Amino acid sequence: MSASDTDAKCPGNPERRYFLEKATGAVAGAGVAAAAWPFISSMNPAADVLSKATVEVDLSHMKRGELKTVEWQGKPVFVLYRTSEQIDAMRASMGSKIDPQPDEERVLRPEWLVVIGLCTHLGCVPTRKPEGWFCPCHGSRYDNSGRVLRGPAPHNLHLLPYQFLADDRLLLGKAKEGA
């Protein structure tokens, strides 16, 4: 039995049939959307992750040359309050040939270095040395700008988005608008 046979036996109202087809499609679409919603919403970050999205850091008690380590999104972040000697030395060099980068591109303010404290080789936490950082796992060395000097690390210590809320307060995880 074809559609034309059905139309001949039950002439009905074609506008009603069109309406029923569209209404059935709309209800089916709503059902699919309702069934898919839990799966889609499960891709949103959990509340505990959102709570760690930004971290405020108090810098008021730090002295020149001092390092503060804080946690941001489960990773250590090194905040180094650099001395004028460290700043001058870092501006005078590009780091190494492994991943050259000017110091000015790695900081918002010359006296403050903010980097993720994980070696870019295999993710170990480097230890602080006067000349920078040393990765105890495989021997990578970084300068006081977080630039890799030697070792198996392929990149400089990673930067993260941050901004200064005040001279003595830092917000990790969110860059300043327009920056």
Q: Is 138 annotated as catalytic?
A: yes
Question: ∠ at Cα 19 (16, 24), nearest 5°?
Answer: 125
Question: What pLDDT is stored for residue 97 in this prediction?
Answer: 77
Pairing between β-strand 67-72 and β-strand 55-58 as defined by DSSP bridges? unpaired
Domain ranges of the chain: 3-41, 49-172
Q: In what order do the strands lie in the sheet with 67-72?
A: 67-72, 75-81, 112-116
* Helix or strand run (H / E) with residue 163: strand 162-166
Question: What pLDDT is stored for residue 53 in this prediction?
Answer: 79
pLDDT bracket for residue 14 (50, 70, 90): confident
Largest CA-CA distance found in the chain, in angstroms, rounded: 96
- Catalytic, out of 121, 138, 155, 158: 138
Among 27, 5, 54, 49, smallest CA distance to 172 is for 54
- Residue 129's DSSP bridge partners are 132
Per residue in 120-132, pLDDT (tens digit) is 998 899 999 989 9
- Other Cβ atoms less than 10 A from the Cβ of 90: the count is 24
- Other Cβ atoms less than 10 A from the Cβ of 149: the count is 20
Per residue in 24-61, pLDDT (tens digit) is 999 999 999 899 888 887 887 776 666 667 889 999 99
Paired tokens of 53: 């999205």
Pairing between β-strand 162-166 and β-strand 75-81 as defined by DSSP bridges? unpaired
Per residue in 146-174, pLDDT (tens digit) is 999 999 999 999 999 999 999 999 999 88
pLDDT bracket for residue 108 (50, 70, 90): very high
- Other Cβ atoms less than 10 A from the Cβ of 167: the count is 9
Q: What's the CATH number for 49-172?
A: 2.102.10.10
Per residue in 45-101, pLDDT (tens digit) is 776 666 667 889 999 999 999 999 999 988 999 999 999 999 998 888 877 778 889
